[in-house]
């Protein structure tokens, strides 16, 4: 205290001399002084450390609200700490005015701090509590998760929309209010043969084909200017190679709330193939209509109840009614008659053919029809009727039947005539030959040469007449006296013929080569007669000083229908010109005189008739001095004879 008084001067010493250190109040008891010193010192240290912690906290958390309040609170705590320091100081130094001044300052700071705290209390109370903050954080996290999910969904939808746009099977385009291309997909570029850059430099109007009408051009130009209405139009669009495609253009405008156009969406569908198919269908329809109109059959379609669903225009050719009049009939039964067919049978078989019926036309005339009914699916119909008028065919069949009957009667009469004529002709010939032989035996030595020549000629003519009559009978009996066709060994037949011709073969020096011959269904006697005629002619019509060489061969024929075979008889005889290849098969047709070669000229005609009776053919090929080949073709099994 003495030192303080010395520093303060005489006036201060006088003033300070009035106070005593605070330690006197404690009687300078060491234990009590120490207790106050220690307590105030620790409080001061605590008060000074708190602002340091607050300053550190505020520096790291600059986002805290009301940060200045924390600084004010720190100033308040520092002021309080200084008062506790002065409490220790005044234990030994009675500087009570300084202590009071600092306490007054602390009081002001404290009051201001309290005032501020109460003032900001309502605002501070609005700050969420940790629980509320945790709840808010959880809500924010949930909202954030939902936002992420929504964002992902939007991205997926956008990706899906982009994929649909790009991968669409039809062309898609998006243009701005003034026709500027915003986006096109690959399909539209492929349709037009243009890439996105080329397409972006063109307008809608530039894509119109030269043959586009003014209405189409106006609507396309409206897309370029933005003045259009949602619509769908068919048009032809140009491609890169200046060709054109048939297209259907669907346009829709997306507008803002004010009505102003935002952008235009256009869908372009290439219908060129569809149009081509429709044109082809139309051509086919026209062709089928022309075909139906050109045929004489009446065609119509009805449903299961018999109601007409389609009537061909040419029904009038049979019924005399127009198609509309036919369609007015209550049912098919009223037109064609009841009980035309059984529905169950049609369902089982699917088609019933050649159903006969009689109908009356509009004029009352009768017609015979053949009706075919087929179960089909044509539009609303399920029964296809085809009606063929066979009235004329029936009449022709009746006429043919009558003609056949007359022909059979005529054939019977001719056969009877041939038999009677041959019998009646044979009788005088036998007498002529008998009396001629008697004259030759009894009077030959009394005849002069001329008379003997007359008798010889008479006998020769009678013999030729008898041969001719026999050949005619043989020719007529190919059909009338024929035997049933039976399995026959042609090799055995030919062997029998060669045996019969043995003398002629030996006398002529003929050589006959016989190859393998088939077994077939035939009349053995007629086959024997055929080969005998062919071989006899081969021996008879030989070249002078050249021995006959005859070859008989056969082969199987391939092809549709019944199995057939071919038998050939070839020789090296005199032959004949090719122009006579058919004439030699005519009865009594001779290429040589009787003096050169004997015969009636009917043998080959008999051979061809036998071939026809076996459902076969017989033809000849020849050249003069090159020989001849006769070829027989006929079925191997179950040959059906052909009536002559």
Which CATH architecture fits 484-635? 2-Layer Sandwich (3.30)
Percent of the chain with pLDDT over 70: 80
Give tens-digit pLDDT for 117-143.
787 777 766 777 778 778 888 888 888
Token pair listed for 553 = 């061969």
- Rounded to an integer, the average pLDDT of 223-230 is 68
Beta carbons within 8 Å of 540's beta carbon, 6+ residues apart:
597, 598, 599
440-494 confidence digits (pLDDT tens): 777 766 777 777 777 777 776 666 666 666 666 666 655 555 577 889 999 999 9
The CATH code belonging to domain 168-276 is 3.30.450.20
% of the chain at pLDDT higher than 90: 8
- pLDDT score of 311: 77
Residues 6+ apart with CB under 8 A from 502: none
Query: What pTM was computed for the model?
Result: 0.39
Strand order in the sheet with 231-238: 181-184, 171-175, 261-270, 244-255, 231-238
Compute the distance between CA of residue 375 and CA of residue 269 in angstroms, rounded to an integer.
38
Question: Looking at the predicted structure, is the pLDDT value of residue 380 above 60?
Answer: no
Q: At what angle do helices 524-540 and 490-500 cross, to 10 degrees?
A: 50
Confidence category of residue 554, pLDDT binned at 50, 70, 90: very high
Q: At what angle do helices 449-480 and 391-442 cross, to 10 degrees?
A: 150
Read off the pLDDT of residues 4-60 as tens digits, 9 standing for 90 and up. 444 445 554 554 456 788 778 877 888 888 888 888 888 878 778 888 887 887 787
Strand 308-311 with 231-238, pairing? unpaired
Strands 511-514 and 351-360: unpaired
Q: Supply 63's token pair.
A: 């986002």
pLDDT at 520: 92
Neighbours of 465 (CB within 10 A): 17
Question: How high does pLDDT run on average in the chain?
Answer: 77
Distance CA(474)–CA(530), nearest Å, equals: 12
Other Cβ atoms within 10 Å of 619 Cβ, number: 14
Q: In the prediction, which pLDDT does 514 show?
A: 92
What residues pair up with 514 in beta bridges, in sequence order? 552
Q: What is the β-pairing status of strands 381-389 and 298-302?
A: antiparallel
Q: How confident is the model at residue 272 (pLDDT cuts 50, 70, 90)?
A: confident
Q: Could you report the per-residue pLDDT of 398-442, keeping only the tens digit for each?
A: 888 888 888 777 767 666 666 666 666 666 767 677 767 777 777
**642 pLDDT above the threshold of 60:** no
Cα–Cα distance for residue pair 395/386, rounded to 1 Å: 21
Q: Where are the domains of the chain?
A: 2-125, 168-276, 295-389, 412-481, 484-635
Tell me the pLDDT tens digit for each residue of 314-347.
777 777 777 777 777 767 777 777 777 777 777 7
Among 3.40.50.2300, 3.30.70.1400, 3.30.56.10, 3.30.450.20, what is the CATH number of 295-389? 3.30.450.20
What pLDDT does 330 receive? 67
Q: What is the pLDDT of residue 641?
A: 45
Please determine whether the domains at 295-389 and 484-635 fall in the same fold group of CATH.
no
């Amino acid at each position: 205290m003495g030192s303080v008084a010395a520093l303060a001067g005489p006036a201060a010493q006088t003033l300070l001399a009035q106070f005593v250190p605070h330690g006197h109040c404690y009687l300078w008891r060491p234990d009590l002084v120490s207790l106050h010193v220690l307590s105030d010192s620790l409080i001061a240290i605590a008060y000074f450390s708190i602002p340091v912690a607050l300053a550190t906290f505020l520096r790291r958390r600059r986002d805290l609200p009301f940060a200045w309040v924390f600084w004010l609170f720190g100033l308040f705590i520092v002021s309080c700490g200084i008062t506790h320091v002065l409490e220790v100081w005044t234990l030994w130094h009675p500087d009570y005015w300084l202590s009071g001044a600092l306490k007054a300052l602390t009081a002001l700071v404290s009051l201001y701090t309290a005032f501020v705290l109460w003032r900001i209390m309502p605002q501070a109370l609005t700050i969420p509590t940790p629980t509320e903050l945790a709840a808010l954080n959880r809500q924010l996290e949930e909202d954030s998760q939902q936002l992420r999910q929504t964002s992902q969904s939007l991205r997926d939808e956008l990706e899906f929309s982009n994929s649909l746009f790009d991968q669409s099977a039809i062309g898609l385009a998006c243009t701005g209010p003034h026709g500027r291309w915003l986006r096109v997909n690959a399909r539209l570029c492929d349709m037009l043969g243009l890439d996105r850059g080329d397409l972006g430099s063109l307008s809608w109007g530039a894509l119109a084909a030269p043959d586009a009408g003014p209405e189409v051009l106006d609507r396309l130009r409206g897309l370029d200017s933005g003045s259009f209405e949602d619509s769908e139009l068919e048009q032809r669009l140009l491609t890169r190679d200046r060709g054109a495609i048939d297209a259907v253009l669907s346009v829709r405008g997306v507008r803002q709330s004010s009505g102003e156009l935002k952008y235009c969406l256009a869908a372009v569908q290439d219908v060129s193939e569809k149009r081509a198919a429709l044109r082809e269908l139309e051509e086919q329809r026209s062709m089928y209509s022309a075909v139906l109109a050109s045929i004489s059959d009446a065609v119509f379609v009805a449903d299961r109840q018999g109601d007409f669903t389609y009537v061909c225009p040419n029904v009038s050719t049979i019924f005399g009614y127009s198609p509309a009049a036919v369609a007015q009939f209550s049912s098919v039964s009223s037109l064609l008659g009841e009980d035309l067919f059984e529905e169950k049978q049609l369902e089982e078989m699917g088609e019933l053919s050649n159903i006969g019926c009689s109908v009356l036309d509009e004029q009352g005339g009768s017609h015979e029809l053949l009706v075919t009914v087929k179960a089909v699916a044509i539009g609303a119909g399920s029964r296809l009727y085809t009606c063929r008028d066979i009235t004329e065919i029936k009449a022709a069949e009746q006429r043919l039947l009558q003609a056949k009957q007359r022909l059979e009667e005529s054939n019977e009469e001719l056969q009877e005539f041939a038999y009677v004529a041959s019998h009646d002709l044979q009788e005088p010939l036998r007498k002529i030959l008998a009396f001629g032989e008697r004259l030759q035996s009894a009077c030959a030595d009394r005849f002069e040469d001329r008379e003997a020549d007359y008798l010889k000629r008479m006998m020769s003519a009678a013999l030729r007449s008898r041969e001719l009559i026999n050949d005619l009978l043989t020719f007529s009996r190919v059909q009338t006296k024929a035997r049933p066709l039976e399995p026959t060994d042609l090799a055995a037949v030919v062997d029998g013929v060669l045996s019969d011709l043995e003398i002629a073969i030996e006398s002529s020096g003929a050589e006959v080569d016989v190859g393998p011959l088939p077994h077939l269904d035939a009349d053995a006697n007629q086959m024997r007669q055929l080969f005998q005629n062919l071989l006899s002619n081969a021996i008879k019509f030989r070249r002078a000083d050249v021995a006959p060489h005859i070859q008989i061969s056969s082969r199987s024929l391939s092809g549709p229908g019944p199995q057939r075979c071919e038998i050939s008889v070839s020789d090296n005889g005199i032959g004949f010109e090719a122009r006579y290849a058919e004439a030699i098969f005519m009865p009594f047709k001779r290429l040589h005189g009787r003096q050169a070669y004997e015969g009636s000229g009917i043998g080959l005609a008999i051979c061809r008739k036998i071939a026809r009776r076996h459902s076969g053919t017989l033809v000849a090929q020849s050249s003069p001095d090159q020989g001849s080949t006769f070829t027989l073709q006929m079925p191997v099994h179950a040959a059906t004879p052909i009536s002559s």
